[in-house]
Amino acid sequence: MKKVLRTMVALSTVFSLAVPTLYAQAESADSVTPPDGYTPKKLSKQQSLNIASEIGGEEGKALLVMNVYPWGSSAAQRTLANLGIAYDAATMDRVDDLDLSNYRMIMFANDQNSTFYNDYNAAKDELEDYVESGGVLLAGISDQGHNGGSFNAALPGGVTSTSSYEINNYVVDTDHPVVRGGGLSGEFPGSFASHRVVNESSLPSNSNVIIRGSVSDQATLVEYELGDGMVIASGLTWEIAVDYGWNFSQAYDDLVRYAYENSNIEEQPDYLGIATQLVEQAEQEQTQESVDAAQDAIDNVPEGEAKTELQARLDAVKQLLEDMDAVRDILDDILDDKLTSKTGIDAAIDKLNNAKKLYKELPEGEGKSAVGNDMDEAQDVIEEALLAILETTINGKPYILTGKQMTIMIYHAIDQVEASSQEDIDRVMEYLMPIVQDHTTLSESRIRGLVQLYLL
């Protein structure tokens, strides 16, 4: 009996030190040797940052990082969806371009290709900052599976790991929510249950070992604090275990839930929604204050098509403000001029007509209405100047209105009697003629024709 036990221990030791081959011939799944015809299934560019659960998470998204499907499995995506956790998926080379503060949890899939693990080095510092700021990194470090990559780099905080294939693992922290919820206790098997162990000498003092490999007695599932956040490092083969129903797979959803719920990342404001509302407000109010507020909000929106579209809309409002300023500059010139001569008044009328052309091109909004009020004020100034000059004589003769000035007087009469249709012509003429009859060379019938034209 002792000889049999010694033989079993010897075989287990071989499994923990080298890639075993005998399970490659087994009918059941083997996490090391890919089945005949196996081809890695890659996360496509179209899928990256586009694979999101249809179940909207109310407390923020998770980020699933993977280049290829571990052991060809979609267990990670299915588990997130079943837990109601909205998520984005991205390849490792995209991570350092993302605003990680938008995610409550970041989750590495196991069994990735060499490119994934090589690209990890470029994202490592940003991931460490993310954890220190309160995030949770659920790092699947079970490598050298069907997709062939090796994870030799240190985890955030300088924690290292070693390749070690183990058939059996056992629970250390029997009260931990992951194993208690999953109903795990004692020793449990897999083929293989784990591929990598965490070097405990590299762990910080506040670490907690949850599961160990049975032969190496080294940590295969461990959690440790880093700054305000936490890293959960796992060398277990979760995804293939889920697909093939290995008994420890029942704890996978508890592992993911535990990582997600223990994040200290505060829920990010809805930057896109806030910016959209403020851009709409800027489009309506058309003021510098509303534009500045909208720009500040857009600056907080993550890069992407939505941000680009919002910026284009706000840029249009900025251009509108410049156009409105151009109209106001013209109107200010009119208000600053001393309109006491025929040439001066005609020049002011030319400026007013130019301002009206620019004003007509402005989109509707509160800003345009304010400019319209300024234009009415400028026209009132011109009208008052004309009424004043009609009281004067030139060499004892009445002042004769120019054609431009006559047009202004007709508009003045229309405004005074609040005329709006052809039926109001007689009222306009009744008001206008006593004012202009001695100051124009136009006949009354010609003036009536002009009033009719302007009332169209």
Looking at residue 264, its pLDDT comes to: 86
Question: Beta strands of 251-404 (E only): which ranges?
Answer: 393-394, 397-398
Which residues, other chains included, contact 146 with Cβ-Cβ below 8 Å and sequence gap of 6+?
31, 32, 33, 34, 38, 40, 70, 71, 72, 111
DSSP 22: G
Which residues, other chains included, contact 46 with Cβ-Cβ below 8 Å and sequence gap of 6+?
none
SS3 31: coil
At 45, is the pLDDT very low, low, confident or very high (cuts 50, 70, 90)? Answer: low
Cα angle at 241 between 225 and 177, to 5 degrees?
Answer: 40
Structural domains of the chain sorted by starting position, each given as residue range(s) with its CATH number in brackets: 2-261 (3.40.50.880), 274-454 (no CATH)
SS3 263: coil
The 10 Å CB-count burial string (b at 16+, else e) for 307-345 is beebbeebeebeebbebbeebbebbeebeebebeebeeb
Predicted confidence (pLDDT) per residue in 378-419, tens digit: 989 999 999 998 888 888 889 999 999 999 999 999 989 999
Cα angle at 176 between 175 and 178, to 5 degrees?
Answer: 130
The model's pTM is: 0.56
Predicted confidence (pLDDT) per residue in 349-361, tens digit: 999 988 888 888 8
Predicted confidence (pLDDT) per residue in 152-197, tens digit: 999 999 999 999 999 999 999 999 999 998 789 899 999 999 999 9
Neighbours of 434 (CB within 10 A): 9
Cα angle at 220 between 217 and 223, to 5 degrees?
Answer: 120
Place of tokens 């007695």: 217
At 254, is the pLDDT very low, low, confident or very high (cuts 50, 70, 90)? Answer: very high
